[in-house]
Amino acid sequence: MTALASTSRPDQPLTIDSIAVQADRLVLRVSLAADAPHFMDASLAARLDAQRPSLKAHACVNDTGPTFGSVMSTTAIPHVLEHLILDEQVRADTAPDAVPFSGITIWLDEGAGLAHIEVSYFDDLTALEAVQTAAACLNDLLRR
């Protein structure tokens, strides 16, 4: 396992505090700024959908429906990051025969905005780049 320190700036709504590269997944600890939303709303979801329409079709285990679109307008911001990371990896298309990616997001401390995210990967460097791109996309969305 390789652990990487944060490269995020502290003035961002979402910060990646750490990334551990394991044999089959990346494990992230993320934090939200005190003034950042912890959950999506209809406006954020509409803007995200305009940028990444493919997210709605992601398979997602939740209490509302079978896809991420079922919860996109009410889900936790770290859960959005999980799906953006997975989406970036699919866009990179480095996996042979479309290896299915999966992830999980768990609040460590919802009130403090601390979350744990795990995402599978095929290529660790592609996955790390996906983390950076996804975090930048989400921070841009949250700053508007």
Q: Which domains does the chain have, with CATH numbers?
A: 2-143 (3.30.1360)
Q: What is the pLDDT of residue 95?
A: 59
Phi and psi dihedrals of 19, rounded to 5? -135, 125
Q: What is the pLDDT of residue 9?
A: 59
Phi and psi dihedrals of 78, rounded to 5? -60, -30
Mark 19-40 as b/e (b = at least 16 C-beta within 10 Å).
bebeeebbebbbbbeeebeeeb
Taking only the tens place, the pLDDT of each residue in 21-56 is 999 999 999 999 999 999 999 999 999 999 999 999
Residue 100 DSSP symbol? P
Residues whose CB is less than 8 angstroms from the CB of residue 102 and which lie 6 or more positions away in sequence, other chains included = 86, 119, 120
Q: What is the pLDDT of residue 108?
A: 98
Q: Residues of the chain whose pLDDT is less than 70?
A: 1-10, 94-99
- Containing 8, the helix (H) or strand (E) segment is none
Q: Which residues pair with 119 in a beta bridge?
A: 26, 103
What's the CA gap between 94 and 122, in Å, rounded? 8
What's the CA gap between 46 and 67, in Å, rounded? 16
